[in-house]
């Protein structure tokens, strides 16, 4: 039961951070470059990098509370990143007949998030010496 509290608390902050950053990103980029799910792409890339970086940091430390991993890893970043929004926005692009934007969304989310994880691990390993 205690684990659920940590995940839920982290999730509360992660979901609110995602919502705020998505709104801000969309409001900044959509007027300049047109309709596209910029906010979801942004949180997914940042979250992928940051979760990998956090994992490297956490792994480099002994004696860390497993509750911290639940709070930050499963809770915050689990709620901060959003595959379901990516999937729904991709379907909306199909329904709007924006097939080129659909392909761009798929390539950017998958490619940039994988790159984000790789860079997060590399940065974390270099900074914290994690294996």
Q: Are 49 and 32 in contact (CB under 8 A)?
A: no
Cβ burial of 120 (10 Å; 0-12, 13-18, 19+) is buried
- Helix and strand numbers (H, E) in the chain are 6, 0
CA distance 8 to 55: 19
Q: Are 33 and 103 in contact (CB under 8 A)?
A: no
Residue 2's CB: how many other CB atoms inside 10 A? Answer: 8
Tens-of-pLDDT digits for all 131 residues of the chain?
899 999 999 999 999 999 999 999 999 999 999 999 999 999 999 999 999 999 999 988 878 899 999 999 999 999 999 999 999 999 999 999 999 999 999 999 999 999 999 999 999 999 998 55
Q: Are 28 and 93 in contact (CB under 8 A)?
A: no
What is the per-residue pLDDT for 131?
Answer: 52
What is the per-residue pLDDT for 19?
Answer: 97
For residue 86, give the nearest of 107, 55, 72, 70 by alpha carbon: 107
What is the per-residue pLDDT for 28?
Answer: 97
For residue 91, give the nearest of 76, 80, 106 by alpha carbon: 106
DSSP state of 62: S
């Amino acid at each position: 039961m205690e684990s659920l509290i940590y995940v839920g608390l982290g999730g509360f902050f992660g979901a609110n951070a995602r919502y705020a950053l998505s709104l801000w990103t969309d409001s900044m980029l959509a007027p300049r470059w047109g309709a596209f799910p910029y906010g979801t792409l942004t949180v997914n890339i940042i979250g992928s990098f940051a979760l990998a970086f956090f994992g490297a940091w956490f792994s480099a430390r002994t004696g860390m509370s497993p509750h911290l991993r639940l709070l930050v890893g499963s809770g915050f970043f689990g709620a901060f990143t959003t595959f379901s929004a990516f999937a729904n926005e991709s379907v909306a692009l199909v329904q709007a007949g924006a097939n080129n934007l659909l392909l761009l969304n798929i390539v950017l989310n998958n490619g940039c998030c994988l790159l984000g994880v790789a860079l997060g691990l590399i940065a974390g390993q270099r900074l914290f010496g994690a294996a």
